[in-house]
Structure 1
Amino acid sequence: MTASAKTATFEDVCRALQDPETYPHPVGAIRRIDTHISAVFLTGSWVYKIKKPVDFGFLDFSTLESRRHFCEEEVRLNQRLSRGVYEGVARICRDEETGRTTLDGPGETVEYAVKMVQLPENAGLKAQILENRASRSTMQRLGQKLADFYRSAPHGPQIDRFGGLDTVTFNMEENFRQTEPFAGLILERESWELIRSVSRSFVKHHKELFERRIASERIRDGHGDLRSDHVYFFRGLQIIDCIEFNERFRYGDAASDLAFLLMDLDHLGALEHGLEALHAYAVAADDPDVYRLIDFYACYRAMVRLKVACLEWEELEDPELGGKNGGRRKSLEDQVRGFLTQACTYAVQFSRPTLWVACGLPASGKSTLARRLAEYLEADILRSDQVRTELAIPEGSPSQPGVLRFEEGKYRPEFRRLVYGELLNRAQDRLRQGRPVVLDATFASRKWRDEALRLAADLDANCIFVECRASDETLKERLREREIRPGLSDARVQHFDAFKQHFEALTEVPEMLHLEFFTEGDFEAAFTDLLARSYRSRCLQVRSRMEDLSPNSPASS
């Protein structure tokens, strides 16, 4: 380091950057914004960001050379998701002869600054959200851009390990270790323990899911700090301020980055906007598995924000504090409660079991959907045709020749009651173990749908009816194919009119719990769309339940 660099302190540099004469261009009113690791100077057209000479372990800006390196890294990495924003790295120079400090001027380099275009505050996503200006198409553009970004972002064995179970578990447990001293102090202990317990259970029981994310190349060199106040709509879509100082905080599953954005938007009361961006990403990236992980990572991200607020609160803790610091302490306590509520909400969302009912007319595609759901969820599938066959064997029904007439033999009403009763009993066993279950049956009668709803409510589980639909022509054609390739079901085209006449519309099922699934187009595209709608349904069910249990809780916001 030069003699000038040694004698120019951080505050000397900051004072110089607050002087309009330092800049080689016209400036307006200079505004300084500090974080714990940097100082930012807004000049009107340009922004200059310098790094504080600190070493926190997870980052080291203690030397001029390290600050230069990380300024260059900040520019390089952020140019991936922005265009025409990051100009480069400016040298802050001090001329010993004149005593002047200038940017890229004569003299010795005493500091480095990231130079970037000053983006209009009202162009930020956060401002648009708060002012109700963010549109559906805006969020879709964001989700699609992120899908393109992760598709081209670096990946490989060195990066993959950051999405592996060992690293994910280490990061998760680090949060709990660092927040445990605050449990029972400013953190409600029961909620904190619930979050820890279900998070540990999730990683324990989803090893294959994490391995699949690595195998499908979803672990990338991402953003690391994807929040609404880092997204701008100015001369295109600009995403700024990624993590440059620690690869561990930037490498990871794309789902973790997206969860940060979803959590942040949810914190602003804009859950629907977050869901729109998430859906657009899932479709563009062909990544339906993101819905399996989003709540776990959103919970983790909320705990990170909670931890930061707790640590700052601890620094201010003093019963004698008043005025500005006292107000800050109260603000941090409010933040902690808010993030704890969010983390708890996501924890309930990924731990609460769901009763999935794939229903509809015969040949509507419900068995195909049920199999795909069970595979996706790693859940048990219970089929009415299978249960019916098992229960009918003692009665000799299968030995009856030919195709049965409507509501005869093992399809007679009294036997149907036995089948549905057994189907729901088996579902009850799975739900009591905290496991999701998929039912494959017509559920043509309202009374059996009422029983399914009642079962879910009694066991405090989610319930989603997915009604499979297809045109009459398609249904009849599929029923005719069963003459050639018969299966467990005895439904045939001659039964069609009777089935349709006796099928009671699902008008009693709440709209939030009733999703239609059309089975005549692109199945996988329709399936990803179904996952988006079902995720929204489960979010709303959990939040409604938590609101019932705690009317004053902000969890439903």
Structure 2
Amino acid sequence: MTVHVVADQGEVLEFLGNPETHAVSEPVKRIDTHGAVVFLAGRDAYKVKRAVRFPFMDFSTIEKRKLACERELEINCANAPGIYLDIRSITRSKTGLEFGGKGKVVEWAVHMRRFDEDATLDRLAKREGLSKLLIADLAHVVLWSHERAARKNFDAAGALDRYILENAETFAESPDLFSAERIRRVTASSRTALAGNRGLLVARQRAGHVRRCHGDLHLRNIVLIAGKPILFDALEFDEAMATGDILYDLAFLVMDLLERGFRQAANALLNHYLWESGNEAHLAGLALLPLFLSVRAAIRAKVVAASLPYLDDRARKEAARDAERYFSLAEQFLIPSAARLVAIGGLSGTGKTTIAEELAPRIGRMPGAIHLRSDIERKQMFGAAETQRLPQTAYGPSATAEIYARLRRKAKLALEAGASTICDAVHATPDERACIESVAQDLAIRFDGIWLEAPLGLRIGRVEGRRDDASDADANYVRKQSTVDVGALSWRRLDASEMPPRIVADALAMLGEPQELAERAEAPP
């Protein structure tokens, strides 16, 4: 990795690291990255750009560093107004350096409100995992940021091609980390995937899905404040790198979750994003996801490798392992995987959604299957919030027929994009079951139908215990539904009276899928 340090910032870094500068008694904490140094002092944080020039980042002049500080403030205020405050000049006086003096400006710093470092999602995930509610909130926040992001007339396909080639060139500078054969293989696979999807990328740009996004969306750049996830530290030094398909922006976060071993959270994040957006174009856009994930992992490998010169021996060895693991993940994302359709049926309270959520991360290519849920589709069709109860008219025959038609249409889009899909609905009639099977038959892919069964009393207890759920079923509905004749069943029956782990294990055995989720990717020997 070619790195050019173009100026000595030692005096500035010493100034910012001095407690007297900030009128605090406790030591100032310093955090080093390849492109910046952050100082935490009391209730404040100051971030200066390193005077460096990389192939992908140029902070070589004070003018460029000032511009980067201004841009960082501007682009982050939308997502994190409570964190980003202003930029400060560091000037020279007769007695030394000071903030905002009348002397010559020697450096610029972004001034931020300090937050609890242990509240960043990378630390939170390592310490206690990521709850379903937090992942749902995170999907909402990311989608909100995408919906308000500026649309751009930008050649996203051309940019990806450049990233792939730049990655290959940079990897070649570190033969001790990345072998020539692996570089050649991942580059060729990436360019093949891009060539096959260039038309889709162009169509998505014309439809407005290419925008100025966060650009650096991973767990370390998300913090939990007052119980809500806040996106910060958006990419500021290169507008082109921060501009792209919104699914490419989302892919960074999905990739980061997968790399850390949180496949279930990665799958839930993607599905919640798709549910909340309600945009069927994103289902077709899933054809791009393997490429997006691979490029994101490759770029992360490159960036981690760039940090090696700034680390001590122990940290350098760990970072080298991280870079190798990211590279391995980039390879794995491009391995073809046949799509399959799984339909889960059963009366209310049999646990269809619970089982579907557990199965989804284990089926198909990373991060797992797309989960289509009739309860979510119904709420969307009637313009209701996920947990808002609908009137009885929303459950009439015509509405239900439309819901199943929507499920089939969306399943077809996802499957055509190469994404395995789980369709979670009652499927109470032979016609409903035959129609979802026909989706797989028309696409010549594997279909599996699973019918969950449980005693009436257990099903009533389950629906009565639901909280904040999209299903409107109650005990009376469950009793009434029990009188319905579901007709002849060709789907495999599964006893759903057991605890969820047992049911999931039985379902996986039926589907021929591994019982355990894959651990985080490891580099081959």
2:115 and 2:253 mapped to 1: Cα distance? 20
Is the CA contact (8 Å cut-off) linking 1:27 and 1:45 kept in structure 2? no
Aligned to 1:18: 17
CA change 1:251–1:107 in 2 (3 A) is same
2:338 and 2:320 mapped to 1: Cα distance? 32
Aligned to 2:32: 34
The residue type paired with residue 465 of structure 1 is: D
The residue type paired with residue 304 of structure 1 is: I
CA change 1:268–1:371 in 2 (3 A) is closer
Aligned to 2:298: 303
By how many angstroms is 1:61 displaced? Answer: 2.3
Which of 281, 284, 287 is matched with 2:276 structurally?
Answer: 284
1:73 and 1:498 mapped to 2: Cα distance? 63
Which of 234, 237, 248 is matched with 2:225 structurally?
Answer: 234
The residue type paired with residue 295 of structure 1 is: P
1:214 paired to 2:201 = no
TM-score w.r.t. structure 2 length? 0.66
By how many angstroms is 1:76 displaced? Answer: 0.8
1:331 paired to 2:351 = no
CA change 1:467–1:170 in 2 (3 A) is farther
Which of 138, 142, 147 is matched with 2:143 structurally?
Answer: 147
Aligned to 1:91: 89
By how many angstroms is 1:281 displaced? Answer: 1.9
Aligned to 1:101: 97
Q: Deviations over 1:397-419 (max 9, x none)?
A: xxxxxxxxxxxxxxxxxxxxxxx
Aligned to 1:386: none
1:353 paired to 2:351 = no
By how many angstroms is 1:176 displaced? Answer: 2.8
CA change 1:373–1:190 in 2 (3 A) is farther
The structure whose residues are more often helix, as a share, is 1
CA change 1:464–1:312 in 2 (3 A) is farther
TM-score w.r.t. structure 1 length? 0.62
Is the CA contact (8 Å cut-off) linking 1:219 and 1:251 kept in structure 2? yes
CA change 1:55–1:195 in 2 (3 A) is closer
1:545 and 1:139 mapped to 2: Cα distance? 18
Aligned to 1:112: 108
CA change 1:466–1:82 in 2 (3 A) is farther
1:176-255 matches, within 5 Å, as 176-180=168-172, 185-187=176-178, 194-235=185-226, 236-255=228-247
1:37 and 1:340 mapped to 2: Cα distance? 21
1:545 and 1:70 mapped to 2: Cα distance? 41
CA change 1:302–1:80 in 2 (3 A) is same
CA change 1:49–1:464 in 2 (3 A) is farther
The residue type paired with residue 308 of structure 1 is: V
Is the CA contact (8 Å cut-off) linking 1:53 and 1:61 kept in structure 2? yes
Aligned with 2:215: secondary structure? coil
The aligned length equals: 405
By how many angstroms is 1:511 displaced? Answer: 4.9
Aligned to 2:72: 74
1:440-459 matches, within 5 Å, as none
Is the CA contact (8 Å cut-off) linking 1:359 and 1:440 kept in structure 2? no
By how many angstroms is 1:64 displaced? Answer: 2.3
Aligned to 1:269: 261
Aligned to 2:152: 156
Q: Deviations over 1:41-71 (max 9, x none)?
A: 1112101111222233533323222222211
Is the CA contact (8 Å cut-off) linking 1:222 and 1:257 kept in structure 2? yes
Q: Deviations over 1:362-387 (max 9, x none)?
A: x999898656544554479xxxxxxx
Is the CA contact (8 Å cut-off) linking 2:215 and 2:243 kept in structure 1? yes
Which of 438, 441, 445 is matched with 2:440 structurally?
Answer: 438
Q: Deviations over 1:164-194 (max 9, x none)?
A: x2222222232233324657x5446666555
By how many angstroms is 1:109 displaced? Answer: 2.5
By how many angstroms is 1:205 displaced? Answer: 1.9
Aligned with 1:465: secondary structure? strand
1:545 and 1:22 mapped to 2: Cα distance? 50
CA change 1:330–1:371 in 2 (3 A) is same
By how many angstroms is 1:285 displaced? Answer: 2.2
By how many angstroms is 1:299 displaced? Answer: 1.2
CA change 1:268–1:543 in 2 (3 A) is farther
CA change 1:27–1:281 in 2 (3 A) is farther
Is the CA contact (8 Å cut-off) linking 1:546 and 1:555 kept in structure 2? no
Task: Structure 1 unaligned segments of length 5 or more: list them.
Answer: 1-7, 317-323, 381-423, 428-436, 442-451, 457-462, 470-496, 516-536
1:69 and 1:342 mapped to 2: Cα distance? 34
Q: Deviations over 1:289-313 (max 9, x none)?
A: 3533333211111111222344556
Q: Deviations over 1:400-439 (max 9, x none)?
A: xxxxxxxxxxxxxxxxxxxxxxxx9xx9xxxxxxxxx932
Q: Deviations over 1:101-129 (max 9, x none)?
A: 22224533322111001110121111110
CA change 1:360–1:39 in 2 (3 A) is closer
Identity fraction in percent: 25
CA change 1:187–1:512 in 2 (3 A) is farther
Structure with larger Rg: 1
Aligned with 1:141: secondary structure? helix
Aligned with 1:126: secondary structure? helix
CA change 1:137–1:190 in 2 (3 A) is same
By how many angstroms is 1:253 displaced? Answer: 1.1
1:9 and 1:370 mapped to 2: Cα distance? 62
1:378 and 1:260 mapped to 2: Cα distance? 23
Is the CA contact (8 Å cut-off) linking 2:8 and 2:51 kept in structure 1? no
- The alignment yields a C-alpha RMSD, in angstroms, of 4.2
Aligned with 1:501: secondary structure? coil
Is the CA contact (8 Å cut-off) linking 1:354 and 1:464 kept in structure 2? no
